[in-house]
């Protein structure tokens, strides 16, 4: 059987760096990202999450812990070949004495072009069909509609944010919730039911269906959508049921995870573990997508294993008995056969 081997960081990588209040170029990632998500790891204020992508443009950021509109950074934050360039002392990305974590994804290698598969023509869509990831910018209509993702595969998770005005949450579609429910990335709230978000219509390999809710499709509103299709051997987007034990649930992914983000369908935060920050097993150094706090240290909740991850606590963030948790994970060493079946993870 022939195998297609991706380099460990062709399409996703976690990168750690320290701030310096000055020119601070980070160009040794081994990839050229189209989405960078940065969070300060140690104490200090402000410590908001910082998302920048090539579709919206360099220096334009949104924060997953807030409902604020897109803002433009007065300092340099530019996505370039091999990583990103920083300059100046933005407290969110480059203050001396602070350490930072940057999660990086590669889409189509730039801003992309309009996708016309949906009833709304996107302004730009940048897509990586191999990795199952696309970024789309579009303008809402205020009535039932659809947008194309360019993936050529059904997206299993999609994150939406209105960018032109403040006061709107980050809406999340996840296959495990179904098209009749949604979750909110900027809160700890439980999954909610609604027909005005996805019209109770499962995404197709071409489009995501939208209702007229202002969080995803207000007339004249501008939006960004990050869409993820599961790719065997590289990504896993699914759910599991907690068992409430310190010998917790084992979740098979088919690869050694480099990044796992977990959310309970109940009122818990978006818990993130990666393989670069010290303590990814035994004593997790966790960051929380909706939280401005420094990284949590010394609390062991999950272990990253050669072919999945395992809960090691009964903590409600990851393993309450009978509770459903949904997640998204990416591989440390993606390895996929020519027929799409993953090899044994290293």
**Residue 342 predicted with pLDDT over 50:** no
Structural tokens at position 233: 């051997």
pLDDT confidence band for 8 (50 / 70 / 90): low
Mean pLDDT confidence for 310-315: 90
Distance CA 313, CA 64 (A): 27
**Residue 42 predicted with pLDDT over 80:** yes
Predicted local distance difference test score (pLDDT) of residue 346: 41
- The set of residues, in sequence order, having a beta carbon less than 8 Å from that of 342 and lying 6+ positions away, is 232, 233, 254, 255, 335, 336
Predicted local distance difference test score (pLDDT) of residue 94: 93
3-state secondary structure at position 217: helix
* Tens-place pLDDT, residues 189-242: 999 999 999 999 999 999 999 999 999 999 999 999 999 999 999 999 999 999
Predicted local distance difference test score (pLDDT) of residue 90: 79
Mean pLDDT confidence for 243-259: 93
Distance CA 268, CA 306 (A): 27
- Which one is predicted more confidently, 343 or 232? 232
**Residue 271 predicted with pLDDT over 90:** yes
Distance CA 58, CA 214 (A): 26
Structural tokens at position 123: 């302004």
**Residue 344 predicted with pLDDT over 50:** no
* Tens-place pLDDT, residues 113-155: 999 999 999 999 999 999 999 999 999 999 999 999 999 999 9
Predicted local distance difference test score (pLDDT) of residue 249: 86
DSSP string, 247-271: S--EEE-SS-EEEEEEEESSS---E
Predicted local distance difference test score (pLDDT) of residue 216: 98
- Which one is predicted more confidently, 24 or 92? 24
Report the percentage of the chain scoring pLDDT > 90.
Answer: 80
pLDDT confidence band for 52 (50 / 70 / 90): very high
pLDDT confidence band for 283 (50 / 70 / 90): low
In this structure, how many other beta carbons lie within 10 angstroms of the beta carbon of residue 343? 17
Distance CA 249, CA 237 (A): 16
In this structure, how many other beta carbons lie within 10 angstroms of the beta carbon of residue 141? 16
Predicted local distance difference test score (pLDDT) of residue 26: 97
Structural tokens at position 51: 């998302």
**Residue 44 predicted with pLDDT over 80:** no
CA-based nearest residue to 87, from 26, 128, 36: 26
Distance CA 345, CA 253 (A): 9
Distance CA 346, CA 328 (A): 19
Predicted local distance difference test score (pLDDT) of residue 280: 59
In this structure, how many other beta carbons lie within 10 angstroms of the beta carbon of residue 27? 12
Predicted local distance difference test score (pLDDT) of residue 6: 52
Q: Residue for token digits 């409430």?
A: 244
In this structure, how many other beta carbons lie within 10 angstroms of the beta carbon of residue 322? 8
Mean pLDDT for all residues in the chain: 91
3-state secondary structure at position 215: helix
pLDDT confidence band for 46 (50 / 70 / 90): low
**Residue 29 predicted with pLDDT over 50:** yes
DSSP-derived letter for residue 328 is E
DSSP-derived letter for residue 216 is H
Predicted local distance difference test score (pLDDT) of residue 299: 74
Predicted local distance difference test score (pLDDT) of residue 282: 59
Distance CA 155, CA 235 (A): 12
Predicted local distance difference test score (pLDDT) of residue 256: 92
């Amino acid at each position: 059987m022939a195998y297609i081997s991706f380099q460990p960081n062709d399409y996703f990588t976690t990168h750690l760096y320290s701030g310096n209040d000055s020119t601070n170029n980070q160009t040794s990632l081994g990839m050229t990202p189209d989405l960078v998500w940065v969070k300060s790891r140690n104490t200090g204020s402000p410590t908001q999450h910082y998302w920048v992508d090539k579709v919206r443009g360099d220096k334009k950021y949104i924060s997953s812990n807030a409902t604020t509109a897109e803002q433009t950074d007065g300092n340099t934050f530019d996505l370039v070949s091999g990583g990103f360039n920083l300059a100046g002392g933005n407290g969110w990305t480059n203050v001396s004495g602070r350490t930072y974590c940057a999660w990086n994804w590669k889409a189509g290698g730039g801003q992309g072009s309009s996708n016309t598969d949906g009833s709304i023509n996107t302004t730009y869509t940048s897509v990586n069909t191999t990795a199952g990831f696309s970024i789309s910018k579009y303008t809402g209509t205020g009535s039932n509609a659809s947008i194309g993702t360019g993936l050529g595969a059904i997206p299993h998770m999609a994150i939406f944010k209105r960018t032109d005005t403040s006061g709107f949450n980050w809406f999340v579609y996840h296959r495990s919730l179904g098209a009749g429910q949604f979750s909110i990335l900027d809160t700890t709230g439980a999954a909610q039911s609604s027909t005005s978000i996805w019209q109770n219509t499962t995404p197709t390999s071409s489009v995501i269906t939208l209702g007229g809710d202002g969080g995803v499709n207000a007339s004249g509103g501008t939006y960004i959508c990050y869409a993820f299709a599961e790719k065997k051997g590289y990504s896993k987007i699914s759910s599991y049921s907690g068992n409430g034990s310190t010998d917790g649930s084992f979740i098979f992914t088919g690869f050694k995870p480099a990044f796992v983000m977990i959310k309970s369908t109940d009122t818990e935060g978006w818990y993130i573990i990666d393989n670069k920050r010290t303590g990814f097993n035994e004593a997790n150094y966790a960051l929380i997508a909706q939280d401005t706090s420094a990284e949590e240290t010394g609390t062991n909740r999950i272990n990253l294993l050669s072919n999945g991850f395992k809960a090691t606590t009964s903590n409600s963030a990851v393993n309450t008995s009978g509770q459903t948790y949904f997640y998204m994970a990416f591989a440390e060493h993606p390895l996929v056969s020519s027929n799409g079946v993953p090899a044994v993870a290293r």
